[in-house]
Structures are given as C-alpha cells and as structure tokens.
Amino acid sequence: MPVRRRRFMQTGLGAASWLALPGALVARAAAGATPASSTADRYPPLVPGYAHLLHGGDWNPDQWLHEPQVIADDLRLMREAGCNAFSVGIFAWSQLEPQEGRYTFEWLDGVMDGLAKNGLRAFLATPSGAKPRWMSERYPEVRRIDGTGRRLPHGDRHNHCFTSPVYREKTRAIDSRLAERYGKHPALAGWHISNEFNGSCYCELCLGAFRGWLRARHGTLERLNQAYWTAFWSQAFQDWDQIDPRESPLDGLMLDWDRFVTHQTVDFMKNEAAPLKAATPHLLVTTNMMGTFTGLDSRRFTDVCDRMAWDSYPHLHGTESWKQVPGLSFVHDLYRSMKGGLPFILMESTPSQTNWFHTPSLKRPGQHRQEMLLAIGHGADSAMYFQWRKGQGGFEKFHGAVIDHEGSTNSRVFKDVASLGAELGKLDAVVGTTVRPEVALVHDWEIRWALHRAQGPRQGRGDWFNWFDKEYLTTCVDHYRPFWKRGVPVDVIESTQPFDRYRLVVAPMVFLLQPGVADRMRAFVTGGGTLVLTYLSGVQDQAGLVLRGGWPGGGLRELTGVWVEEIDSLYPNPAQRIVMKAGNALGLAGDHPVREYCELVHAEKATVLASYANDFYAGRPCLTVNTVGSGRVYYLAARPAEEAFHDAFAQALVRDLGIARNLDAALPEGVTVQKREGGGRTFLFVHNLKAVEQALDLPRGRFADVLAGKDVPGRLALPAYGTFVLERL
C-alpha cells in the first residue's frame, strides 16, 4: 500500500527592504541559515531577487512526454492561473535514467527552458522518492526490508533503504548531474529533495548502522544495558550484534530506534543535498515534510533544510469545519517556529479534493482561498498544490488538481486558483515578513515517541492518532487553541529551543525531560518568565528511565513547588471536577469537569489556585502557582475535559501578563486573526471560518484592505469563508 498517512498591496516594495537588514544577517539568511535573533526586520524571499509569494505546485510533465502539446498548454495555463513556481520531476527517475548510466535529460531541458521563457520558476526535484525498476532488479539491497524480514518488491514509492551504499551512490550520481546541468538555469529557484521522507528499513545494512549509532551514543554495552534496564525479563545484551529493534520489550531501545530512523533519514538527505549546495550555494534546498507525522522528528531536518516546507491536507468539511482550524494553525506555527520565524514553504495542498480521504468532499466557495491565506498569515511565503494537472492514470488520477481531465480554464477550481493567483500578486510586501509571538507552546517529538513506547501511564483513545501518542498532540492543541481564539500569536517550539524571547511558555505533558531543559526553565522563570506545566511532566529521562525522587522529576519538583504522589486514571465521564478557590490570584471562578488524568498533588511550596471536588482526594490541589525569582510556574494536575477551562486560564494569563493580541477586538466565534510584520509594515489576516456571514468591529485606527486597495470601515462585514488582508496604517 502506498503511504497515505496523516493522517494539515501594496506593490512597489523592492529588494531594498530586506537589504536593509544588517549585512551579516542578510548573508546568513540568504544562504537559508537560521537567523540569529527574532529581530530580523524582513527575511529574504525564497528565491533570491524574486520578491513574490510563490504560487504553483507539483507538475509532472514526465507523465506527458507522449503528448508535448499538453506540456505546451500547461505553460500557457500556468500564467493564466497567476502561478509562478513548480516542483518538477519528483518521481521522474525512470524518465531521467531509463537504464543504468543512460541519462535522458533532453525532455527536462525543454521543460526548464519552457518555464524560463514563461517567467516561471522551478523547484527542481531529486527523484529519490521512487527508484527505477532496473535498480531494484540489479541491486536488491536498495529495496527496503520490512519489520517481518521480507524484502519489499519494487512496486510503490518511498520504499528504499536509507543506508544502502548503492542507493546513496545512485542518488548522488543523478543529483550531481542535475546540479551540473541545471545549476545555472534561469528557471531554477531551488531544490526539492526527494519527497515526504518516511518509513524505516530493517536490512542488515540498516541494523549495522543502528548498532554503530548506538555505540557512539552509549559508548559501552554496559552503559547501554543500564540505560535500557535490560535486567528486566532477562534482556541483557552480550554483543552489539544481538541488538534488533524488532524484538524487544525495552522502550528505551525503541526510543533509540525512533531517533535513529530520523538520524539516518537526515543523513540520507545530507548525501543528496551536498552536490546541490556545492553547485548552487545561493539557492535553497528543502524537502516537503508531513506536518506532525509521528515517524520522523521534523525538527532534526532544520540543519539540512534552508527553509522548512510542509504538505497540508486538512479535513475541513461541514459547517463545523472551523473547529479543525486551530489544529491546522498549530502546524503552520510549528513549521515557522522551527527556524525561529523564517517564513516557511507550503509545498503541497489540494486545490480541490484529496483522493485518499475516505470522503473527498469539495471545498466550498471561498474555502480554498481562505486555506491558502491562512497559511500565509502564519508565515508561509507560498501557496503550492498537489497537483497542477490530473494524470490520466495511476493512483492519483482522481486527486484534485488545478487542471482537470476536462482540460480547460472553465472549471470552478481553475477560476478559484487564478483569482487567488491575481490576489497573491498584490501581496509582495508580505514576503519575508514574520510573526513575533510572546507566547510559546512546547511540543517535542521525543515526548510523543516516549509516550507511545511506554506501557502506561494509561492507554490512548481508540483512534490511531490518539492511541499512538496517548493524546499528547491533542493536548498540545488544547493548550494552543485558547490563544488562537483570542488572536494571540504563538510559536510552537521544542523544549530544547531558547525560551528567553517569550514571556509565557506553555509546556504540556513534558513526560520525557531532555537534558538541560529543567535548568533552562528555571532560568527563564527566575528572570521573570511565566511557565505552565501540567500533569505527566518530568516522568522519565531521555533513555526512558523513570525519574526518581518524586514527580515532576529532574528538578521540576523544586521549580513547581509540588510533588505528585500518584496519578489516578479515570474511566469515561468521571464525576471529578476542578474547583477554583475563592479569591485566587488569577481571578478565576467556578468549576470544570476533567477527564482521564488526575494527579494527587502535595503543594510543597506552591500556592493552591484550585482543588478537586470529589472522591477521596477532594480538596487536594489541582492547579497551583509557585513564585520563583521574578517569575511564576503554574502546575495543572488534571486534564480538563472542556475548552472552557483552557479559555478561562489562558485569558487570565494573557490579561495578567498584558500579552499583546494581533488585533484588539472582540473576535466572534470562528473568526481568527494572524499578524505578519516587517519592513515597517503590519499585515493582518482576518478570517471568518464559518459558513455564515459575521461582522467584526475593528479597533480605532486606520486599516486598508490590501487586496481591494481601499480603506475599510470600522465594522467589517465578513462573508462566509471570507478572508481579508488588512494593513494597519
């Protein structure tokens, strides 16, 4: 089965604006490196010297070589659609090298020339996402071995071994030729390495590499045995060669396997990136990641990707679709935050239907435009699609595309795309601007893996996604949503990223505590920061060993001023509630239902803000605050069952800390606002995500509707699925 996971005007501002950045910063940012600080005024565009939002997507002319007219039509239609950038040749290896060592680049020469002649840009792909048949036959080692020990047949994509020297050599060879041939081509905008890396291989080469990686990580077998607690069930290793991640009840080993799979994939990508970077150091290399896909820690790709890029396929259907949007926004914020605010690339999205959905509903009028402008509002400098044109055959022939099988520009989808293209052309000034939050939400892949691999503290909910990480991601979104609802911008960072640029850091379920994190949390709070921690924090170390001496462990007991003695796991619909204490410092009142987790807490130093209502632990603390230095640490010991608690808590924190909102206005339900700043300008992306008209009263001041080119009245009428891009004047 192929991988179908998942599972989300101002013109006239020229180059001068980003050239105004300090010289060193420009140099670093131009090469795509993480900027040194969030003070960068405006980042360079994705394509050097091309200050436009990119609009386009995956184009597969390699499927149409038998019909050159289609390719010629495409080039014309791309301009009509207001598109300017395409990912080309992603799965074209057998068209580029039909026999070993025989390269047939001529058709690609024509495609690249055609793009250039039409003023269009190419993210030229390396074709390693799908290997040619001759390679699978001649070099079986390139074919992945699955968890049962079976070598996979050729068919399908994304099924190669990441370690195989042959595969690495073959990809290096074709990538080097692509770099050599097209490095100076005027159409070349950057490199799209492979496609949606995923999966793992259990061949001897991979297992050997894993063992080598383990040696480097643990040093000696003795230390490894200790870290994995192998005395358990008589699992001790006497030889490195005995280690096989498929047969172990040791969660520490599984965690290391998760890390190794990411490491090996990044290493594979580095092998691909090297010849491209050598030929074109000024152009970006990236790969399209799968959002919050659990199998790879996307953040580990930040060193090899000049810009982060992700593929977004949200399920936005029905009148309640807006309720899915916070989860989507969360992922956009995650990808922007990975490189400290550097605009990211929305590399794929569907212009209409997604064929692998169970129910591929159509996007309602306005929804597509809105989805793209939402991504841009969060910091994307592109709106790209899968796919430009529907293929006539193959697995994705029914997947949405800008050009339908019918072939003309008369379709609703084409018109939507073209009208968006015209609008994006008015947003040049947004390019390189960014989002500057005062709030950060911590989300670590390490925590997801640790929760997945641990047997307990309870199981996840039924559906695959929540079962996998025991609702860690859902919990992160639960803590993110109340800020989103209020138009408070949030960075989604990992626990090892700096905290000092924020005023409020919310870190739910820090189940696995990485080295140094507790100390950095303490320094952040001592210096005046506000930190929110929750149940299931400081439970185990990086190896997977439980932190002893009372939870939250690893230094967090001191910091929070609480000791978690036991964790009660609740059956559905518990009677338990969080009761706010009269006169608490946050000014919160009332009570709230909980679900699943209630920790039995001793407030050792902390002040109690709320306590439990029922059961034998009625009256025990469940929300506390501890003052440390000039900052505060909140500890939430139970999982709230409803949004109301999160809303009230976040609102109190925002008010208490005076945290700025994107727009000082009462936002109706289903209305969200993002803000991008830079070059001395401020852009607001205002969305009515509901299928009914709403109105928004703007605060005092002057606002221009950038797309319509006129000032807006104080009361903004928001049509169903309506989005405005406003500039604060």
**Residues of the shown chain interacting with ligand GLA in the complex, contacts defined by CB under 6 A:** 195-196, 288, 311, 313, 348, 354, 386, 396, 399
Phi, psi at residue 554, to the nearest 5°? 70, 25
Rounded Cα–Cα distance for residues 162 and 154 (Å): 15
Q: Which does 348 bind (CB under 5 to 8 A by kind): Zn ion, ligand GLA, none?
A: ligand GLA
Q: What is the 3-state secondary structure (H, E, C) of 30-71?
A: HCCCCCCCCCCCCCCCCECCECCCEEEEEECHHHCCCCHHHH
Residue nearest to ligand GLA (CB): 311
206 binds Zn ion (CB under 5 A): yes
Rounded Cα–Cα distance for residues 383 and 377 (Å): 11
Q: 132 vs 252, which CB is nearer to ligand GLA?
A: 132
Distance from the Cα of residue 410 to its chain's centroid: 34
Q: Rounded to the nearest whole angstrom, what is the least distance from the CB of residue 313 to ligand GLA in the complex?
A: 6
Distance from the Cα of residue 400 to its chain's centroid: 22
Q: Which does 206 bind (CB under 5 to 8 A by kind): Zn ion, ligand GLA, none?
A: Zn ion
Q: Which does 163 bind (CB under 5 to 8 A by kind): Zn ion, ligand GLA, none?
A: Zn ion
* 357-379 as b/e: b if 16+ CB within 10 A: beeeeebbebbbbbbbbbbbbbb
Q: Which does 399 bind (CB under 5 to 8 A by kind): Zn ion, ligand GLA, none?
A: ligand GLA
Rounded Cα–Cα distance for residues 348 and 384 (Å): 5
Q: Which of 30, 51, 203, 506 binds Zn ion (CB under 5 A)?
A: 203
Those residues whose C-beta lies under 8 Å from the C-beta of residue 248, and which sit 6 or more positions away, are 235, 254
Rounded Cα–Cα distance for residues 500 and 525 (Å): 9
Of 141, 196, 272, 471, the catalytic one is: 196
142 binds Zn ion (CB under 5 A): no
Peptide bond into 140 cis (omega under 30): no
Q: Rounded to the nearest whole angstrom, what is the least distance from the CB of residue 384 to ligand GLA in the complex?
A: 11
Q: Rounded to the nearest whole angstrom, what is the least distance from the CB of residue 447 to Zn ion in the complex?
A: 27
Stretch of residues binding Zn ion (CB under 5 A), selected from 199-207, 255-263, 422-430, 464-472: 199-207
Those residues whose C-beta lies under 8 Å from the C-beta of residue 142, and which sit 6 or more positions away, are 131, 135, 136, 160, 161, 164, 166, 167, 170
* Residue with the two structure tokens 């699925």: 721
Q: Rounded to the nearest whole angstrom, what is the least distance from the CB of residue 205 to Zn ion in the complex?
A: 5
261 binds Zn ion (CB under 5 A): no
536 binds Zn ion (CB under 5 A): no
Annotate each residue in 159-178 with x if it binds Zn ion (CB under 5 A) or - if it does not, as one string.
--x-x---------------
What letter does residue 660 receive in the DSSP assignment?
P
Q: 313 vs 472, which CB is nearer to ligand GLA?
A: 313
Q: Which does 386 bind (CB under 5 to 8 A by kind): ligand GLA, Zn ion, none?
A: ligand GLA
* Residue with the two structure tokens 């990686």: 213
What letter does residue 144 receive in the DSSP assignment?
-
Sheet holding 710-711, edge to edge: 671-678, 681-688, 723-728, 703-705, 710-711
Q: Rounded to the nearest whole angstrom, what is the least distance from the CB of residue 107 to ligand GLA in the complex?
A: 20
Kind of pairing between the strands at 631-636 and 530-534: parallel
| Nearest to 223, CA basis, from 207, 236, 233, 232 | 236
Answer yes or no: are the C-beta atoms of 439 and 483 closer than 8 Å: yes
Q: 240 vs 398, which CB is nearer to Zn ion?
A: 240
Peptide bond into 457 cis (omega under 30): yes
320 classed as catalytic:
no
Rounded Cα–Cα distance for residues 687 and 705 (Å): 13
Q: 136 vs 321, which CB is nearer to Zn ion?
A: 136
Stretch of residues binding Zn ion (CB under 5 A), selected from 157-165, 264-272, 496-504, 546-554: 157-165
Q: 201 vs 345, which CB is nearer to Zn ion?
A: 201
* Cα-only R_g, the chain: 26
Of 141, 348, 396, 727, the catalytic one is: 348
Q: 132 vs 351, which CB is nearer to ligand GLA?
A: 351
| Nearest to 625, CA basis, from 581, 659, 566 | 581
**375 in helix, strand or coil?**
helix
Q: Rounded to the nearest whole angstrom, what is the least distance from the CB of residue 272 to ligand GLA in the complex?
A: 16
Q: Rounded to the nearest whole angstrom, what is the least distance from the CB of residue 312 to ligand GLA in the complex?
A: 9
Distances in whole angstroms, Cα of residue 708 to Cα of each of 371, 375, 422, 690? 19, 20, 12, 22
Q: Rounded to the nearest whole angstrom, what is the least distance from the CB of residue 147 to Zn ion in the complex?
A: 12
Q: 201 vs 375, which CB is nearer to Zn ion?
A: 201
Tell me the CA end-to-end span of the chain in Å, nearest whole number: 53
Alpha helices in 280-400 (DSSP H): 325-337, 367-377
Annotate each residue in 31-70 with x if it binds Zn ion (CB under 5 A) or - if it does not, as one string.
----------------------------------------
Q: 196 vs 471, which CB is nearer to ligand GLA?
A: 196
Rounded Cα–Cα distance for residues 501 and 152 (Å): 48
Q: Which does 672 bind (CB under 5 to 8 A by kind): Zn ion, ligand GLA, none?
A: none
- Total residues belonging to the chain: 729
Please work out the total of residues on this chain that contact Zn ion, with binding judged by CB under 5 A: 6
Angle at CA 114, nearest 5°, toward 111 and 116?
A: 110
201 binds Zn ion (CB under 5 A): yes
Q: 203 vs 536, which CB is nearer to Zn ion?
A: 203
Answer yes or no: are the C-beta atoms of 105 and 177 closer than 8 Å: yes
Q: Which does 266 bind (CB under 5 to 8 A by kind): ligand GLA, Zn ion, none?
A: none
Q: Which does 161 bind (CB under 5 to 8 A by kind): ligand GLA, Zn ion, none?
A: Zn ion
Q: Rounded to the nearest whole angstrom, what is the least distance from the CB of residue 395 to ligand GLA in the complex?
A: 8
Q: 17 vs 194, which CB is nearer to ligand GLA?
A: 194
Span 110-129, contacts to Zn ion by CB under 5 A: none
Q: Rounded to the nearest whole angstrom, what is the least distance from the CB of residue 458 to ligand GLA in the complex?
A: 33
CB atoms within 10 A of CB 289: 25
Rounded Cα–Cα distance for residues 425 and 79 (Å): 12
Q: 386 vs 445, which CB is nearer to ligand GLA?
A: 386
Q: 349 vs 434, which CB is nearer to ligand GLA?
A: 349
Rounded Cα–Cα distance for residues 533 and 507 (Å): 5
Answer yes or no: are the C-beta atoms of 468 and 445 closer than 8 Å: no
Q: Rounded to the nearest whole angstrom, what is the least distance from the CB of residue 165 to Zn ion in the complex?
A: 11
Stretch of residues binding Zn ion (CB under 5 A), selected from 108-116, 197-205, 286-294, 355-363: 197-205
196 classed as catalytic:
yes
Q: Rounded to the nearest whole angstrom, what is the least distance from the CB of residue 349 to ligand GLA in the complex?
A: 9
Q: Which does 311 bind (CB under 5 to 8 A by kind): ligand GLA, Zn ion, none?
A: ligand GLA
Rounded Cα–Cα distance for residues 723 and 719 (Å): 8
Q: Is the dihedral of CA 254, 256, 257, 261 positive or negative?
A: positive
Residues with catalytic roles: 196, 348
Interface positions with Zn ion (CB under 5 A): 161, 163, 201, 203, 205-206
